[in-house]
Each structure stands twice: as C-alpha cells, then as structure tokens.
Structure 1
Amino acid sequence: MRVSEVMSTDVLAAPADDSVREAVGRMLDEGTGSVVVEKDGNPAGILTKVDVMEAGHEYDRPLSEIPVYAAASRPLITVEPSATVRAAAARMFDYGIHHLPAADGLDLVGIVTATDLLEAQADLLAAAREADERRDEWAD
C-alpha cells in the first residue's frame, strides 16, 4: 500500500509570519492537528499541537505574539506519495513525528498522520494475509 492511498490531500498551510494564535484558529476551524508553514512560498516547517504547547511554555508570551515560523518544527520532514506506508511509518518512528507531509519535489501534495496509518492497518493486514496465502499456493 502506498502513501498516496492513505494520505489526506487537504493540507492546511500558513505563512511564516502568521501568529501561532492565527494558525491554531485555522487548525480548529478545519479540525486538523497540524499546519504546514510556508516561507517564501515553499514548505519550511510544520506546526502541530505539541509545537503549540511547547511554544506557549518556552516563550511565556501570548500565542498572538509568537510567529508561527518560530514555533514550527524544522526542517520539514517529508515522504514521497509513491513510498510505501511501511516506509512512511518507519520515517515517522525514526523522527518521532505524527504528521508527515507528502511531497512531489517541492510540491506538497498531501499529509499522512499516525491516525491514517491506524485506519489503514486492517487493509495492510488483509494484504499480508493474502500474500501469505499466495505464497502457500506457490509452495504446493
């Protein structure tokens, strides 16, 4: 199974000079847990709920005074949409992240989350069982 089959293509983005408060408002409006931060028109980082909490604690200022770029996780870790879901899961584990944007070159085309991977788990298990059955048939 490929990332393109499980990712969401609706990626929320915010300019680097927006405030964290503005970004959080958009995240709440859209019901999403992250926003990709764009600097000079290119994806440059990602702001997640955890980043918001860390920024509030670290800066000890209102969220309206913190630029989203200052609070965002950088550099932006991405995956190709043609990558396997297993490769995406490994990348997320290796970097300790739960939101992984999918990029085709510099073009952001989607985002895969830990929730997306959990939802795909049943399909992945079914595919694995099917592969095992085919292997057993070939062995006979």
Structure 2
Amino acid sequence: MLVREVMSTDVLTAPARTAVRDAVGRMLDAGAGSVVVTSDGTPAGILTKVDVLQAGHEYDRPLSEIPVYAAASRPLVTVEPSATVRVAAARMFDRDVHHLPVADGQTLVGVVTATDLLAAQGDLLREAREHREQREEWDHTD
C-alpha cells in the first residue's frame, strides 16, 4: 500500500511569521493536529500540538507573540507519495513524529498521520495475507 492511498490532501499551511495563536485557531477550526510552516511558499517545518505546548512553556509569552517558525519542528521530515506505508511508518518511528508531510519534490501534496496508518492497518494485513498466499502458490508450482 502506498502513502498516496492513505494520506490526506487537505493540508494546512502557515507562513513562517504567522503567530502561533493564529495557527492554532486554524488547526482547531479544521480539526487538524498540525500545520506545515512555509518560507517563501516552500515547506520548511511543521507545527504540531506538542510544539505549541513546548513553545508556550519555553517562551513564557502569549501565543500571539510567538511566530510559528520559532515553535515549529525543523528540519521538516517528509515522505514521497509513491513510498510504501511501511516506509512512512518507519520514518515516523525513527524520527519520533506523528505527522509526516507528503512531498513530491518541493511540492507539498498531502500529510499522513499515525492515525491514518492505524486506520489502514486492516488493509495492510489483508494485503500481506494476499502476498503470502501468492508466494505459497508459487512455491507449490515448482
């Protein structure tokens, strides 16, 4: 199964100088857990709920005074839409992230989350079973 099959194409973005408070408002309105931070239109970081909590604690200032570039996780870890879900899951695990922007070159095309991967688990198990059955059929035809 490929990332493009499970990703969301509705990606929130915010320019780097946007206030964290404004980005949080957009996240709440959209029911999203992250917003991709852009610099000159190019994805440069990601702001998640955890980043917001850390920024509020670290800076000890109102969220309206903190720009998203100061609070965002960087460098941005991405995955290609043609990558397998297994690759995306491994990247999330290795980098300890739960939101993975999907980029085709420098173009942001989606986001895949840990929740998306969990929702696809049934399909992944079915796909693995089908591959195993195919392999067993090939082994018996020799």
Deviations 1:111-133 (A, max 9, x none): 00000000010000001111111
**How far off its partner does 1:41 sit?**
1.4
Matched, 1:31 2:31: yes
Equivalent position of 2:69 in the other structure:
69
Specify every segment of 5 or more residues in structure 1 that has no aligned partner in the other structure, as ranges: none
Q: Secondary structure at the match of 1:97?
A: coil
Equivalent position of 1:106 in the other structure:
106
Equivalent position of 1:137 in the other structure:
137
Equivalent position of 1:54 in the other structure:
54
Equivalent position of 2:115 in the other structure:
115
Deviations 1:2-44 (A, max 9, x none): 0000000010000111100000000000000000001111111
Using the alignment, how far apart are the partners of 1:133 and 1:77 within structure 2? 35
Using the alignment, how far apart are the partners of 1:62 and 1:124 within structure 2? 43
Equivalent position of 2:5 in the other structure:
5
Amino acid at match of 2:19: S
CA RMSD of aligned residues (A): 0.6
Question: Which stretches of structure 1, 4 residues or more, deviate above 3 A after TM superposition?
Answer: none
Deviations 1:69-111 (A, max 9, x none): 1000011110100000000000000000000000011000000
Equivalent position of 2:127 in the other structure:
127
The normalised TM-score by structure 1 is 0.98
Aligned-residue sequence identity (percent) comes to 76
Matched pairs, number: 140
